[in-house]
Amino acid sequence: MLSIFFPKRRKKKRDGSLPERLPRHVAIIMDGNGRWAQKRGLPRAAGHRAGVEALREVVKACLEWDIQILTVYAFSTENWKRPRSEVQALMHLLVEYLEREVEELHEQGVQIRAIGRISELPVEARQKLQQAMETTAGNRRLVLNLALNYGGRAELADACAAMVRDVEEGKLRWEEIREDTLEKYLYTAGLPDPDLLIRAAGEMRLSNFLLWQAAYTELWVTSTLWPDFRREDLLAALEDYARRERRFGGLK
């Protein structure tokens, strides 16, 4: 995996209502699309479609507010358990999102990346994603990191397998394996850990998201369903984050 260069946060004039201390990396579990649709008597796919609109707004806010990395949980390794029609609808939405948005995202300096077992995605989604990543690889303003067919346990298993292979091939000595060694084998290699993890729709769990990386991430859960999530909700999370004291096991 490529490591990436992050510019120093630009000292641009900020919206006065924005807190001083902002997270560099925000991760979001975009949950509650199905419940949103159900409340309206709509098919679940309509909830997913509305969820894409929320994502669009959040990406815009991140660009405006100088967030450097946004990682969004879009499809988990467990989501394959859902009915085939729902999985297909989700994959179709991904393709549509990339077709519609990449040009504008590229113009705005967004670098698209992906984490997860990407090779297992349907071919069209994989190709569109590959294209989007290639087109935007040089952008530095915001990393939009899409978690697709992502599972924290799968990521750790894949990392272990790759490490063992390198040990067998003599590229790595087992005595040298430390935490930072393992980190280089994760899908997120080169990215800093998330500072803030937002979960929509009220569930108090990680659902297999960023198990390693979220060790010291600040958690923020809202009952707002993802399709209803707006920039005000993101702002509320950022304000809460700014008030937290991060100790990382140390003392104040």
Nearest approach, Cβ of residue 32 and Mg ion (Å): 6
Verify whether residue 31 is a known catalytic residue.
yes
Q: Beta 196-199 vs 110-115: how paired, if at all?
A: unpaired
Q: Is 94 in the site for ligand IPE (CB under 6 A)?
A: no
**The binder of ligand IPE chosen from 203, 215, 232, 246 (CB under 6 A):** 203
d(C-alpha 73, C-alpha 75), whole Å: 6
**The binder of ligand IPE chosen from 32, 116, 151, 152 (CB under 6 A):** 32
Catalytic residue among 66, 79, 166, 228: 79
d(C-alpha 7, C-alpha 64), whole Å: 16
Q: What is the dihedral of CA 146, 52, 129, 60, to 10 degrees?
A: -70
Q: Is 79 in the site for ligand IPE (CB under 6 A)?
A: yes
Nearer of residues 90 and 154 to ligand IPE, judged by Cβ: 90
Verify whether residue 79 is a known catalytic residue.
yes
Nearer of residues 181 and 208 to ligand IPE, judged by Cβ: 208
Cβ 25 vs Cβ 194: under 8 Å: yes
Query: Which residues ranging from 7 to 46 are in contact with Mg ion (CB under 5 A)?
Result: 31
Cβ 180 vs Cβ 121: under 8 Å: no
Find the helix or strand (DSSP H, E) in which 160 lies. Answer: helix 152-168
Find the helix or strand (DSSP H, E) in which 27 lies. Answer: strand 25-29
Residues that bind ligand IPE (CB under 6 A): 29-35, 73-76, 79, 90, 201, 203, 205, 207
**Residue numbers annotated as active site:** 31, 79
Residues that bind Mg ion (CB under 5 A): 31
